[in-house]
Amino acid sequence: MPEQKSSSVPWYPVSRRRFLAAGAGAVVAGGVVSGCAHGPKMPGTTPKEQAQYQDHPNGLSRCGLCKHYIPNNGCEVVAGPVSPDGWCRFYALF
Ligand code: SF4
The domain segmentation of the chain, as residue ranges, is 1-39, 40-94
Instruction: Give residue-wise pLDDT tens across range 16-74.
Output: 666 556 655 544 444 444 455 678 999 999 999 999 999 999 999 999 999 999 999 99
Q: How far is it, in rounded angstroms, from Cα 22 to Cα 19?
A: 5
What's the whole-model pTM score? 0.64
23: Cβ contacts below 8 Å, ≥ 6 apart: none
Q: Which atom of ligand 1 is nearest to the CA of 67?
A: 6
- Amino acid (1-letter code) at residue 46: T
Query: Domain spanning 40-94: which superfamily?
Result: High potential iron-sulphur protein (4.10.490.10)
Q: Which long-range contacts (CB under 8 A, 24 or more apart) does 13-16 make?
A: none
Q: What is the pLDDT of residue 12?
A: 61
Q: Which residue has the higher pLDDT, 78 or 94?
A: 78
Q: Is the CB of 63 under 6 A from ligand 1?
A: yes
Nearest 5°: the CA angle 78, 82, 85 is 125
Q: Does the beta carbon of 62 lie inside 6 Å of ligand 1?
A: no
Percent of the chain's residues with pLDDT above 70 = 61
